[in-house]
């Protein structure tokens, strides 16, 4: 009977769905253009569900910032924004790492290639701003009509481009093209209306011209007859192209002084939306174009190439799925044959300019890829998806070696420089720390080397092969014969071959071995730039995750050149594939006080690791001794005959064990009484490890001194343990055997 507005001060707008708790009508869930919100007090306050990675990005751009580039884009009704491609923390890329560059519906952003602090962002209908990343200020720079000029027609998603040829130059387009040479402070109109200039009120919607009152055709939809695609050649300053929403391509070879119209590309639907235009970075005469006809109910891919600057065209849709409109095109800056396209259902690459396409689907959901950007320095492929946010394929350079043919030999691809640093923990602990499960954290590429290789051979898993054949027989109604003894034994003895990647320093010392199942195709392994840990092997897994326990990993290696070598492990043999690649490990240099002697630091950490491993091994030996003594106590009681001599020997071993344990771990009774006692060697070493393992700073004099003391005090303890194990315990176990005692764990039964 009556309604009133509720509080939405901190909630997004454009509501679409709502649930009201039938048992508590103050409790609602509301879905809107901003995501999902929850209220427990009938909209007085709201909780935003910030861990749903479902952002709809229209466009993507990248900068050249150091040490990590940033990713920018415009979202459906959630502003334009930017954020890091990588971070130095151990928490992944969080919501707090992102920043807003402009409000409204966000569309194409661009970044000055010479200054990453100058960002251009826009909202719907060409509302363009220049955003200052340092100050956070934005200045409106949208071109305005000249005196007496009709209002410009801006598309919902107006094309924007920053020039690679001249600092401060950028292009923008409505129904006309604009150029600025002073960072958007002033604009020159460099074209007339480049559209067909059709009267949209005479066009049919479905099968007839509809009434002015029938739909919001002229209210909430984009004006018709606008430029929707634009590109400047990276090879030639004055070579530019524009595409319109009514199917025209216009090319200018003189910076906009004159334009050549291209209409009715053979194979493209008439008046189809020109979604993307792209000049080749290798040949001035080569142009790519993608048409999108989904507004007419046609979801076929339309992608074309011209090698004579638009005078003739050839379809390169080839084997792209017949359903899946094409939105975007990109070309590799090194390999002229390698191109990418984003479609309604994913991203594809072609090694031969569209002769054949293959989907890049690993890790990417089936989603509309609206735009693609390539970060040239890193050879990263960055995608803007409409519903799953941004995706990055780190270092796609191996695709430059892919050809449309079967490889008969394995191959290792060039590894890009690996940046090395110690990840910080501003939240106090790794991962999400104590922030709760609703704290959003995206995957991050940390300090690691990515080693990519192709393995050519296929190894049949005998059991899987038999089961596959049996499944086929069952499906076709045939018998499934029992395997022979030899066949079944061969299955039992079969071990899946493994690829062994060995990382060597420049002197040939192996610092890391990594295994991966051997199967045909392109593989990638990641090395965390650390030595192998020297801790005693422990196959027991903890029953719960303890964030305070840390992880078992070595320390960072010395910066410099390293070699990755490939071998295959098969039939208990390691065979070299004679494939190797040399790559560099470079420090990030993000310290306020720069390290003076990195070599000394690494050497010291290796000494600490080695002594720590010795201490842990000694402690493990003592636990094994005490475990043996518990079993020996039980075994003695199960013996026949006098026990006097055995009890004396056991008491002596136990006494020495307690004495050694006190030397290693300190006096427990003194600790209970709070009586002062010197630090133990293990305690000293534990503090040294805790204080400096995850730092790239120089070794402190305090740590050097404490390590020297720990090492001096540990040596006699270690010798005492060895004497206990090799002499006292061994004599006791021999006596047990001679007297016919039951077997106890670890006892050697023969001399």
How far, in Å, are 168, 258, 549, 663, 739 from residue 179 at the CA level? Answer: 10, 14, 58, 79, 100
Rounded to whole angstroms, the Cα distance separating 304 from 327 reads 13
Give the residue carrying structure tokens 């492990």.
Answer: 569
DSSP assignment of 355-390: SS-EE--TT--S--EEEEEEETTTTEEEEEEBSS-E
492 sits in which H/E element = helix 485-493
Reported pTM = 0.91
Distance CA 494, CA 505 (A): 34
Spell 543-573 as b/e; 16+ CB within 10 A means b.
eeeeeeeeeeebbbbbbeebbbbbbbbbeee
pLDDT at 419: 97
| Low-confidence residues of the chain: pLDDT under 50 | none
Sheet with 99-102, strands from edge to edge, namely: 57-62, 70-75, 80-84, 99-102
CB 316 within 8 A of CB 353: yes
Query: Residue 127, SS3?
Result: strand
pLDDT at 750: 61
Cis peptide before 67 (omega within 30 of 0): yes
Distance CA 423, CA 624 (A): 36
Give yes or no for a contact between 137 and 131, defined as CB atoms under 8 angstroms apart.
yes
Instruction: Write 439-442 long-range contacts (CB < 8 A, 24+).
Output: 439/51, 439/94, 440/50, 440/51, 440/53, 440/94, 440/95, 441/91, 441/92, 441/93, 441/94, 442/53, 442/92, 442/93, 442/94, 442/389
Strand order in the sheet with 138-140: 110-111, 118-123, 127-132, 138-140
Per-residue confidence (pLDDT) for residue 227, from 0 to 100? 98
What are 457-475's pLDDT values in tens digits? 888 788 888 999 999 999 9
Question: Does the CA dihedral 266-270-276-278 come out positive or negative?
Answer: positive
pLDDT number for residue 460: 79
CA separation for the pair 394, 375 (Å, rounded) = 10
Pairing outcome for strands 260-262 and 188-189: unpaired
What tokens were used for 683? 């305690």
- In contact, 599 and 558? CB cutoff 8 Å: yes
Residues 170-205 as b/e (b if ≥16 CB within 10 A, e otherwise) read bbbbbbbbbbbeebbeebebbbebbbeeeeeeeeee
Half-sphere exposure of 663 (CA within 13 A, CB side): 21
CA distance 56 to 383: 12
Residue for token pair 């396209």? 341
Residues pairing with 84 in the sheet: 70
**Contact at 8 Å (CB) between 248 and 306?**
no
Q: Are 574 and 500 in contact (CB under 8 A)?
A: yes
Dihedral pair phi/psi, residue 633, rounded to 5°: -55, -45
pLDDT for res 220: 73
Q: At what angle do helices 701-723 and 644-665 cross, to 10 degrees?
A: 180
Q: Do 73 and 60 touch, CB atoms closer than 8 A?
A: yes
Under a CB-based contact definition with an 8 Å cutoff, are residues 35 and 54 in contact?
Answer: yes
From 114, 158, 121, 157, select the one nearest 136 (Cα to Cα): 121
Give me 232's structure tokens: 């400047």
- From the list 235, 325, 320, 234, the residue with the least C-alpha distance to 274 is 325
Pick the closest to residue 132 from 183, 95, 64, 60 (CA basis).
Answer: 183
């Amino acid at each position: 009977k009556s309604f009133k507005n509720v509080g939405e001060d901190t909630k997004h707008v454009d509501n679409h769905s709502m649930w009201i708790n039938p048992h508590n009508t103050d409790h609602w869930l509301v879905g809107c253009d901003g995501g999902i919100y929850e209220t427990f007090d009938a909209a007085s306050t709201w909780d935003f569900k910030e861990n749903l990675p479902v952002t709809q990005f229209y466009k993507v751009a990248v900068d050249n910032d150091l040490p990590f580039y940033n990713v920018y884009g415009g979202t459906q009704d959630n502003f334009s924004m930017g954020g890091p491609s990588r971070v130095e923390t151990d928490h992944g890329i969080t919501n707090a790492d992102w920043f807003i560059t402009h409000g409204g519906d966000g569309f194409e952003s661009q970044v000055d290639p010479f200054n990453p602090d100058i960002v251009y962002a826009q909202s719907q209908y060409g509302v363009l701003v220049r955003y200052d990343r340092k100050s956070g200020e934005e200045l409106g720079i949208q071109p305005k009509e000249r005196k007496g000029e009709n209002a410009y027609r801006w598309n919902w998603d107006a094309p924007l481009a920053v020039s690679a040829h001249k600092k401060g130059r950028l292009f923008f387009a409505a129904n006309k093209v604009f150029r600025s040479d002073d960072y958007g402070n002033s604009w020159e109109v460099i074209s007339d209306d480049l559209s067909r200039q059709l009267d949209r009120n005479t066009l049919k919607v479905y099968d007839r011209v509809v009434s002015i009152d029938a739909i919001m055709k002229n209210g909430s939809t984009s004006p018709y007859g606008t430029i929707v695609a634009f590109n400047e050649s990276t090879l030639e300053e004055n070579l530019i192209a524009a595409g319109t929403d009514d199917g025209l391509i216009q090319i200018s070879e003189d910076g906009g002084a004159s334009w050549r119209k291209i209409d009715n590309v053979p194979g493209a639907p008439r008046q189809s939306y020109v979604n993307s235009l792209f000049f080749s970075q290798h040949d001035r005469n080569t142009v790519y174009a993608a048409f999108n006809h989904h507004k007419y109910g046609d979801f076929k891919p339309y992608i074309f190439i011209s090698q004579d600057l638009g005078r003739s065209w050839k379809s390169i849709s080839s084997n792209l799925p017949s359903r899946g409109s094409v939105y975007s095109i990109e070309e590799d800056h090194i390999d002229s044959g390698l191109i990418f396209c984003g479609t309604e259902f994913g991203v594809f690459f072609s090694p031969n300019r569209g002769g054949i396409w293959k989907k890049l689907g690993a890790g990417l959901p089936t989603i509309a890829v609206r735009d693609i950007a390539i970060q040239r320095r890193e050879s990263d492929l960055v995608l803007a998806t409409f519903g799953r946010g941004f995706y990055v394929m780190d270092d796609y350079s191996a695709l430059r070696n892919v050809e449309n043919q079967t490889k008969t030999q394995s191959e290792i691809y060039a590894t890009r420089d690996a940046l090395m640093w110690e990840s910080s923990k501003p939240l106090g602990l790794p991962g999400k720390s104590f922030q709760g499960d609703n704290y959003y954290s995206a995957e991050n590429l940390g300090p690691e080397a990515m080693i990519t290789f192709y393995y050519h051979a296929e190894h049949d898993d005998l059991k899987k092969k038999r089961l596959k054949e049996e499944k086929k027989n069952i499906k076709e109604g045939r018998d499934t014969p029992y395997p022979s003894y030899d066949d079944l034994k061969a299955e039992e003895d079969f071990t899946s071959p493994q690829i062994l990647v060995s990382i060597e320093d420049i002197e040939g010392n192996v610092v890391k071995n990594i295994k991966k199942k051997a199967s045909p195709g392109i593989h990638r392994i990641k090395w965390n730039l650390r030595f192998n840990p020297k801790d005693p092997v422990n196959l027991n897994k903890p029953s719960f995750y303890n964030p305070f326990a840390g992880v078992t990993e070595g320390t960072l290696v010395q910066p410099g050149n390293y070699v990755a070598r490939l071998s295959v492990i098969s039939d208990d043999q390691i065979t070299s594939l004679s494939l190797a690649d040399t790559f560099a490990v470079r420090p990030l240099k993000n310290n306020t006080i720069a390290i003076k002697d990195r070599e000394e630091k690494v050497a010291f950490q290796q000494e600490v690791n080695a002594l720590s491993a010795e201490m842990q091994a000694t402690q493990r030996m003592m636990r094994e001794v005490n475990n043996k003594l518990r079993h020996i106590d039980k075994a003695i009681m199960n013996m026949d005959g006098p026990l006097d001599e055995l009890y004396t020997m056991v008491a002596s071993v136990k006494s020495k064990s307690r004495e050694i344990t006190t030397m290693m771990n300190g006096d427990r009774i003194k600790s209970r009484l709070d009586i002062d006692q010197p630090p133990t060697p293990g305690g000293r070493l534990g503090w040294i490890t805790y204080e400096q393992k995850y730092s790239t700073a120089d070794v402190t004099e305090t740590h050097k001194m404490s390590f020297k003391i720990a090492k001096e005090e540990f040596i006699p303890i270690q010798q005492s343990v060895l004497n206990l194990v090799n002499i006292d315990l061994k004599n006791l176990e021999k006596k047990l055997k001679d007297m016919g005692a039951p077997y106890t764990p670890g006892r050697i039964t023969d001399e």
